[in-house]
Structure 1
Amino acid sequence: MAAQVKSEATKKAEIAVPQERDPPKDKSEITQVADIVVSQDQEPCKGVENRGVAMEIVKVAEENAAIKQENESKTGDVVVEEGEKKDEADESSGDVSPLFPEVENITSFREESNLLCDLKEHEKKALFEMRSKIEEAILANKLFKEKDEQVEEPEKAKLLEEELEKAQKPAVEGQDKEKKEIRAEEEEKPAREKVEEKEKSMQDGEEENKSVKEGGEQEKTHVAIEENVVDIDKDIVLWGVPLLPSKGDMGTDIILLKFLRAREFKVDEAFEMLKNTLHWRKEYNIDSILDEDFGTNLASAAYINGMDREGHPVCYNIFGVFENDEVYNQTFETEEKCDKFLRWRFQLMEKGIRKLNFKPGGAFSLLQINDLKNTPGPSKKELRLATKHAIGLLQDNYPEFVARNIFINVPFWYYAFNAILSPFLTQRTKSKFVFARPARVTEVLLRYIAIEEIPVHYGGLKRENDSDFSIDDGVSEVIVKAGSAEAIEIPAPEVGTLLIWDLTTLGWEVKYKEEFVPTDEESYTIIVSKERKMDWQEESVRNSFKNKEPGKLVLTIENGSYKKKRVLFRYKTKNSSSN
């Protein structure tokens, strides 16, 4: 028998995708959030010492939000901040279907297209020019050579200066002895004329030998040049993608477009950025960084877990980990440890890129979740400097690798701080920022990640090493109107049936209880879980019950607030014969 539900029919809200057209001025947005979070030189908390200043900052934030909303209404774009949505439209809906409605497959956002047909004319022109420059540089073996020569030039200039200083010093000292030497020279002149005649005859023979020797050296140089041409490396790759356009790899244009977008489609700047990235990777041995072992001390500080709705790998950054003094000192106590921290962060980035698909239609960037709960303050100078350094290198060498930067558990001071910084950020950068207060974390994450992929400590249903449910198991939802209650009924007609269920609430602040109601009216109702209040600080519910008589499990959600609540759940039944 299908489970019975009395609830309001859900209306599905589409989330518009921000498609900001203003590109960054000089750097990509990769992990740019951490720079704002950690770089707290201005100490925003201390700067807001009186109520009047605080209200002014909040007023600025509200005005910026109003301007942003007005602009978005004109362009049709929506920048999601805190997941605020109006509920009035849904409140007017009538009775629900007796069957559990499946959770809607929300379209969160899509990346900019890398297909040639979707590019604008100036973007196509820039891409063609970038292809040509890369092809020419690789075939002429100049992609690395030019940079090496630039590095050597300052060293050569320094050596030249030292030689000039040495040459000038004896010249000055020789002025005092000049008169004495003139007299000696006049006395030795007759003898020297005879010696010069002999030397002249010897020089004629040496010049002939020298011309023969120079001819041989020219031949050797010519041979060496030919050998260099033969040794051209046409297999230069970046993140596993060949950079030589004539190879015809579908991922080449995707990589080139990342650098072009990071530099506003300015070809020369994008080409220079690409060359710098290749040299940086070579200098720091990034291609072999995946083989390095950094231990498990930082495993909880940042990690990749699951995918979002569009297939982007999700990277979680947990800044609260460094509130622990022991972890902090182990990571930033010395310069050597700071360097290790940087390499560990680069390794995590490379692991995430390994999960990407550099083909048309694939996911070729990451979704960043930045948990600001218990974020260390400005006193943690080493963390601030190390993270700022890491961000600079990530921005320069991993352009356009972040699809969205979602900030969760955002404290009040951060909104004020962000309002001050907002005018200095490009529209392209700001369009990738999403903010969520602690009470709305689950709701905001659900816009981008399926509830089955959201970890339980963020209100989702994903548990590590879960043997009871998988991401393929369906999730249903009911809507609980303001000031009302809804009951989810799970049938158990056979004795010895094991019932297992997950449940989470968006908006929280509801009363929840679990009961087993026997079919026999003369039997007593069994309280599985007493009524309690659920708030945003709790994890999602996971429970089980095995019945000793036929009946049904009833999950009751009471909404005493003035706003509707969404309840997401799933369940399984296992008969005694299958146990």
Structure 2
Amino acid sequence: MDTSTSPSPSPSSKSILNITTPFQNLPDASPRPHKKSIFTTLMEATTTSFKEDTYLVSHLRNSEKKALQEFKDKLLASGEVNNASMWGVTLLNGDDRADVLLLKFLRARDFRVCDALNMLLKCLAWRKEFGADNIVDEELGFKELEGVVACTQGYDREGHPVCYNDYGVFKDKEMYEKFFGDEEKLKKFLRWRVQVLERGIKLLHFKPGGVNSLIQVTDLKDMPKRELRVASNQILSLFQDNYPEMVARKIFINVPWYFSMLYSMFSPFLTQRTKSKFVISKEGNAAETLYKFVRPEEIPVRYGGLCRPSDLQNGPPKPASEFTVKGGEKVNIQIEGIEYGATITWDIVVGGWDLEYSAEFVPNAEGSYTIAVEKARKIEASEEAIHNSFTLKEAGKMVLSVDNSASRKKKVAAYRYIVRKYSTQSV
């Protein structure tokens, strides 16, 4: 059995995008002057261009190099960290992996050596008391929350592991009571949340020029802000105190209108450097925001991507082709050159759908009829990626259509396909 996969066309199949734009000759509407809302102002203030550190000593300023050496000297003189290690890295072994960790503490305290030393010593004490080094393998009994409330899944376009957080499930009072009903339950939940983070950190390189931090995506849709205030504050405080510079970017999606109040609640617990990493995306723009940082085949289907939990069992995800659907456009994806007896399987998604989709097979032979594989239908914004397959009884092409003619809003989209050729030989 032979297999060909997009977006690299094989001799037996290739894809072509055809676009028609009914609105393309209409003039753009004149922008109306308007006063910025508090929400818009907050988005602009917190969304900045954050450049991640390389952790190459050669890239440090002279004052930073001096601080790093002073930090090492003070650690050695303290006698408290002779053989201490974090995440498999011995702090005073003199190699560049140790430099990466020490620089994380220094940057978290703006290269104030005494403050960084105090932070590191407190972190070591906390890790020992909490048992953080061995927590990854513990069975904490949170199976029903794994992959729902918090999970590390896939990588961003620069290779950072991506951790997703979604606390909307706790809007249900029974669920809230089950996991946050008393102090002991809260402590156990925090332990599980640390376990998820530690598993993500195990994917980091801790090498200069390597991947040394995570991406965090937090879905604020349906999050019961009042009920989760105590838990949220404890999580933020714990992570900031003991996981310096472990997050390269914090992406908030499905942000509700009242986020300004929520932000003011969290703000006192956040450093300015942490705030500079924020990306704010209001409700309905999750896919558009995530596509800027993560490839669609790595994004879970519930956020407008193509990745389903079952896909993770089959190795790295198959790459997808990205495209945009402008307002007023109809896009036809033509997959040509499919042979008799072959089976084509495809996935397609449009972020925030709310448009028409259809799929048809067009035979090569004259006189043959076009087959409506999936009749045209309106796909609601809440629906996930489409997955389907079709076996050809004659040679021809597949045409996948997304019709955004009724809207002026541009949408991100992606698709991929596999063609399995017909074979009479056993596999």
- 1:122 corresponds to which of 54, 60, 63: 63
CA shift for structure 1 position 445: 0.7
Structural mapping, 1:281-300, within 5 Å: 281-295=127-141, 296-299=143-146, 300=148
Q: 1:573 to 1:469 in 2, by over 3 A?
A: farther
CA shift for structure 1 position 406: 0.7
Structural mapping, 1:524-563, within 5 Å: 524-560=369-405, 561-563=407-409
Q: 1:282 to 1:321 in 2, by over 3 A?
A: same
Asked if structure 2 preserves the Cα contact closer than 8 Å seen for 1:60 and 1:419, the reply is: no
Listed as ranges, the gaps of 5+ residues in structure 2 are: 1-12, 21-33
CA distance in structure 1 between the aligned counterparts of 2:344 and 2:162, rounded to whole angstroms: 32
Asked if structure 1 preserves the Cα contact closer than 8 Å seen for 2:19 and 2:329, the reply is: no
> Of Structure 1 and Structure 2, which has the larger fraction of its residues in strand?
2
Report the more deviating stretch, 335-344 or 463-472. Answer: 463-472
| Superposition RMSD in Å | 2.9
Q: 1:385 to 1:519 in 2, by over 3 A?
A: same
Aligned to 1:157: none
| Counterpart amino acid of residue 245 in structure 2 | E
- 2:297 corresponds to which of 452, 461, 465: 452
CA shift for structure 1 position 556: 1.7
CA shift for structure 1 position 464: 2.2
SS in 2 for 1:496: coil
Asked if structure 1 preserves the Cα contact closer than 8 Å seen for 2:348 and 2:415, the reply is: yes
Is 1:317 the counterpart of 2:172? The answer is no
SS in 2 for 1:491: strand
Aligned to 1:328: 176
CA distance in structure 1 between the aligned counterparts of 2:341 and 2:371, rounded to whole angstroms: 15
Structural mapping, 1:145-224, within 5 Å: none
CA distance in structure 2 between the aligned counterparts of 1:278 and 1:535, rounded to whole angstroms: 50
Asked if structure 1 preserves the Cα contact closer than 8 Å seen for 2:345 and 2:418, the reply is: yes
Is 1:568 the counterpart of 2:414? The answer is yes
CA shift for structure 1 position 501: 0.8
Asked if structure 1 preserves the Cα contact closer than 8 Å seen for 2:135 and 2:195, the reply is: yes
Q: 1:526 to 1:384 in 2, by over 3 A?
A: same
SS in 1 for 2:16: coil
| Counterpart amino acid of residue 123 in structure 2 | T
| Counterpart amino acid of residue 122 in structure 1 | S
Bigger Cα Rg: 1
CA shift for structure 1 position 65: 5.8
Listed as ranges, the gaps of 5+ residues in structure 1 are: 9-54, 70-77, 81-108, 145-233
Is 1:510 the counterpart of 2:355? The answer is yes
Is 1:384 the counterpart of 2:353? The answer is no
Aligned to 1:185: none
Q: 1:493 to 1:111 in 2, by over 3 A?
A: closer
Structural mapping, 1:472-491, within 5 Å: 473-491=318-336
Is 1:4 the counterpart of 2:16? The answer is yes
Asked if structure 2 preserves the Cα contact closer than 8 Å seen for 1:113 and 1:119, the reply is: no
Report the more deviating stretch, 383-392 or 305-314. Answer: 383-392
> Of Structure 1 and Structure 2, which has the larger fraction of its residues in helix?
1
Task: Give aligned pairs, total.
Answer: 397
- 1:132 corresponds to which of 55, 69, 73: 73
Q: 1:429 to 1:575 in 2, by over 3 A?
A: same
SS in 2 for 1:309: coil
Q: Deviations over 1:5-33 (max 9, x none)?
A: 3249xxxxxxxxxxxxxxxxxxxxxxxxx
CA shift for structure 1 position 111: 1.6
- 2:109 corresponds to which of 260, 263, 269: 263
Q: 1:62 to 1:333 in 2, by over 3 A?
A: closer
TM-score for the superposition, normalised by structure 2: 0.84
Structural mapping, 1:30-49, within 5 Å: none
Q: 1:469 to 1:571 in 2, by over 3 A?
A: farther
CA shift for structure 1 position 479: 4.4
CA distance in structure 2 between the aligned counterparts of 1:338 and 1:412, rounded to whole angstroms: 28
Q: 1:567 to 1:131 in 2, by over 3 A?
A: same
Report the more deviating stretch, 410-419 or 525-534. Answer: 410-419
CA shift for structure 1 position 408: 1.0
Asked if structure 2 preserves the Cα contact closer than 8 Å seen for 1:442 and 1:506, the reply is: yes
SS in 2 for 1:340: helix
Is 1:277 the counterpart of 2:123? The answer is yes
CA shift for structure 1 position 488: 1.3
SS in 1 for 2:133: helix
CA shift for structure 1 position 264: 1.4
Q: 1:314 to 1:65 in 2, by over 3 A?
A: closer
SS in 2 for 1:435: strand
CA distance in structure 1 between the aligned counterparts of 2:313 and 2:347, rounded to whole angstroms: 10
Q: Deviations over 1:240-275 (max 9, x none)?
A: 11111xx32221111111111111111111101111
CA distance in structure 1 between the aligned counterparts of 2:40 and 2:339, rounded to whole angstroms: 58
CA distance in structure 2 between the aligned counterparts of 1:506 and 1:406, rounded to whole angstroms: 17
Aligned to 2:8: none
SS in 2 for 1:531: strand
Asked if structure 2 preserves the Cα contact closer than 8 Å seen for 1:61 and 1:416, the reply is: no
Aligned to 1:440: 285
Q: 1:328 to 1:421 in 2, by over 3 A?
A: closer
CA distance in structure 2 between the aligned counterparts of 1:344 and 1:466, rounded to whole angstroms: 25
Q: 1:425 to 1:255 in 2, by over 3 A?
A: closer
Q: Deviations over 1:449-473 (max 9, x none)?
A: 1111011111111122339986463
TM-score for the superposition, normalised by structure 1: 0.63
Aligned to 2:9: none
Q: Deviations over 1:298-342 (max 9, x none)?
A: 323211111112221111111112123332222122322222112
Q: 1:497 to 1:470 in 2, by over 3 A?
A: farther
- 1:362 corresponds to which of 206, 210, 214: 210
CA distance in structure 2 between the aligned counterparts of 1:502 and 1:273, rounded to whole angstroms: 48
Q: Identity of counterpart residues, as a percentage?
A: 45
CA shift for structure 1 position 297: 3.8
Asked if structure 2 preserves the Cα contact closer than 8 Å seen for 1:254 and 1:358, the reply is: yes
Is 1:343 the counterpart of 2:284? The answer is no
